[in-house]
Amino acid sequence: MGPNTSFVVAIFGICAIYIEFIRPGRIFPGVLGTAALVLGSYSLWRNSPSPLGLGLIGTATVLFMIEAFLPVYGIAGLIGTAVLAIGACKLFLQPPSIVRSIAISLSIIFGGVTTFLAHAAKRARRNKRSDLLQ
């Protein structure tokens, strides 16, 4: 599997796991998402990723987690999206690399969805706390 397909499959896997978190109890999205994420990650790893690309993608992951748990109002999600796009473009240094248009477009879509879900999760936690205090 080439790097483009591997990247798309890995992002699809994460999105399917998001669906499982939103609608728990449906086994199919979680199993399919986990299988796709493992397959995509393994295929990306087999193509020898660069440490710079892996570091940038790890940084984007941390920024998305900060967006989910701290009141940063979308700034960490926006920066995480940009870092993810740069990391995907820099993931492979040799010619069989991820096409920039695929890396940037998928990163923008994934970053937008992740930032929106993080905002929704923070709002739900805040509403739950206010319900408990009444």
Based on the fold, state whether residues 38 and 52 are members of the same structural domain. Answer: no
pLDDT (tens digit, 9 = 90+) per residue, 69-102?
Answer: 898 989 999 999 999 999 999 999 888 889 999 9
Based on the fold, state whether residues 42 and 26 are members of the same structural domain. Answer: yes
Token pair for residue 91? 């993931």
Token pair for residue 101? 């248009």
Residue 28 lies in domain? 1-47
- Taking 70 as the threshold, does the pLDDT of residue 125 lie above it? yes
Based on the fold, state whether residues 29 and 83 are members of the same structural domain. Answer: no
CA 113, distance to chain mean position in Å, is: 9
pLDDT (tens digit, 9 = 90+) per residue, 30-56?
Answer: 999 999 999 999 999 998 899 999 999
Based on the fold, state whether residues 29 and 58 are members of the same structural domain. Answer: no
Mean pLDDT value across residues 55-64: 96
Percent of the chain with pLDDT over 70: 96
Region for residue 94 given its phi and psi (left: phi exceeds 0; alpha: psi -120 to 50; beta: otherwise): beta
Task: Look at the chain and report how many structural domains it folds into.
Answer: 2
Based on the fold, state whether residues 96 and 125 are members of the same structural domain. Answer: yes
Based on the fold, state whether residues 61 and 3 are members of the same structural domain. Answer: no
pTM of the model: 0.89
- Secondary structure (DSSP) of the chain: --HHHHHHHHHHHHHHHHHHHHSTT-HHHHHHHHHHHHHHHHHHHHT---HHHHHHHHHHHHHHHHHHHS--TTHHHHHHHHHHHHHHHTS--SSS---HHHHHHHHHHHHHHHHHHHHHHHHHHHHHHHHHH-
Based on the fold, state whether residues 62 and 113 are members of the same structural domain. Answer: yes
Based on the fold, state whether residues 66 and 9 are members of the same structural domain. Answer: no
Based on the fold, state whether residues 28 and 69 are members of the same structural domain. Answer: no
